[in-house]
A and B are shown apart, each in its own frame.
Chain A
């Protein structure tokens, strides 16, 4: 089961996700990117049903972009989170999306923020959050080591501790993780943590 977790630091937020694409007992690839850039200053890490995850996050990304085109200003993180919750809640009693989401963003006025959105559309603003089997290890490690206003170095240190815990204690542990960060300079990929490297695909 896919692990996604995130935390808020001093002027930034970090989201980490495993990068395995799994179907039953088969590991298709180990460099699947599950953290989508919603816009310049928002990250959406998602875990759950593969098709739902890809489709729903893209749907949210395009709607966030549409808002910006129509209104000339970008959505705040809180607004994007509430929009996402609304879409999940509307679909819940018709055709539910089995996607758990950690939405992180940076707003000029309010700084970094992180939102936990369940697949049944429970929304809560948090400093640290996690989904999947990895959450049992991630939440405990973060409860122990997390402090408010951590620097990027301290936060990445904590992220690495969590990844080590997941790798060593989860029976079907994902080998690789992607780390993305969002701060005043925007949302971007920070690093990969790989213990297996996929063979590069050669274009024919």
Chain B
């Protein structure tokens, strides 16, 4: 079994009209066994920036701790929060540092940038950034998520509709994946 499929995860982020939404499933498993149904995979970096970490849970926890450390230092030095684009570059750099012994994580980053413009991106486990204007997905259910998002997504959705869309895309995808599911966490950030 692949190391990326050891714990199981489903992550998706979408862009709406002056808002973004990021959602994850809630399962923590060890291969076929479910350990918990309330495991958090999306973390808040600051008020307008969220990161979801899919893949191996231990690396997601380690990576999150390192990122919080780096962001807190940045905040102390710059006296402001990091922009999502900058944060994405930081995550990419941290991941590539471990190019020949990587963290087995695929992050999904969602935030509001300058003038509250929504920003989403994902990257692979060695930091190859993938910017998108509409939606990004990650995790064991990523293939189902691609299909669900492609068919359900519309540009410039209001927050209520965006919430509905991302939730339905997440739930219908994880229902076809045995390694992710047990509910969902959805964060919709408007201004």
Chain B binds chain A: yes
A65: Cβ under 8 A from any B Cβ: no
Beta-carbon contacts of A96-134 to B below 8 Å, as 1s and 0s? 000000000000000000001010111110100100000
Taking residues whose C-beta sits less than 8 angstroms from the other chain, chain B's interface range is 10 to 19
How far is B32's CA from A136's CA once the two chains are assembled, in angstroms? Answer: 11
Q: Let me know if B62 is at the binding interface, CB within 8 A.
A: yes
Whether the Cβ atoms of A122 and B33 lie closer than 8 Å is no
**Cβ of B101 and Cβ of A122 under 8 Å apart?**
no
B56's contact among A120, A123, A139, by CB below 8 Å, is which? A120
Residues of B within 8 A of A85 (CB): 61
Please tell me if A79 contacts chain B, counting CB pairs below 8 Å: no
Q: Which residues of B contact A124 (CB under 8 A)?
A: 28, 35-36, 39, 57
With A85-B61, A121-B58, A121-B61 as known contacts, state yes or no: A126 contacts B36, CB within 8 Å: yes
B57, closest chain A residue (CB): A122
Do A126 and B35 touch (CB < 8 A)? yes
Alpha-carbon gap, A4 to B101, bound state (A): 32
**A66: interface (CB < 8 Å):** no
How far does the alpha carbon of A135 sit from the alpha carbon of B35 in the complex, in Å?
10
- Shortest distance from the beta carbon of A56 to any chain B beta carbon, whole Å: 16
Residue from A89, A122, A129 whose CB has the most chain B CB atoms within 10 Å: A122
B30 at the interface (CB under 8 A from A): yes
Q: How far is the CB of A73 from chain B (nearest CB, A)?
A: 23
| Residues on B with beta carbons closer than 8 Å to the beta carbon of A148 | none
Q: Which of the listed residues B33, B56, B61 has the most CB atoms from chain A within 10 Å of its own CB? A: B61
Are A93 and B101 in contact (CB-based, < 8 A)?
A: yes
> B7 an interface residue at 8 Å Cβ cutoff?
yes
**Complex contacts, B33 vs chain A, CB 8 Å:** 135-136, 139
Closest Cβ–Cβ distance, residue B38 to chain A (whole Å): 9
Nearest Cβ in chain B — how far from A77, in angstroms? 17
**Cβ A123 vs Cβ B30 within 8 A:** no
Shortest beta-carbon distance from A117 to chain B in Å: 10
Would you list which residues of chain B between 34 and 59 have a CB under 8 Å from chain A? Answer: 35-36, 39, 56-58
Extra contacts, 14 of them, besides A121-B61, A122-B57, A139-B33 (Cβ < 8 A), are: A92-B58, A116-B35, A118-B57, A121-B58, A122-B56, A122-B58, A122-B61, A123-B61, A124-B28, A124-B36, A124-B57, A126-B36, A129-B35, A135-B33
| 9 nearest A-B residue pairs (beta carbon) | A122-B57, A121-B58, A122-B58, A120-B58, A124-B36, A89-B62, A126-B36, A124-B28, A124-B39
Interface residues of A (CB under 8 A from B): 85, 89, 92-93, 116, 118, 120-124, 126, 129, 135-136, 139
Q: Which residues of B contact A (CB under 8 A)?
A: 7, 28, 30, 33, 35-36, 39, 56-58, 61-62, 101
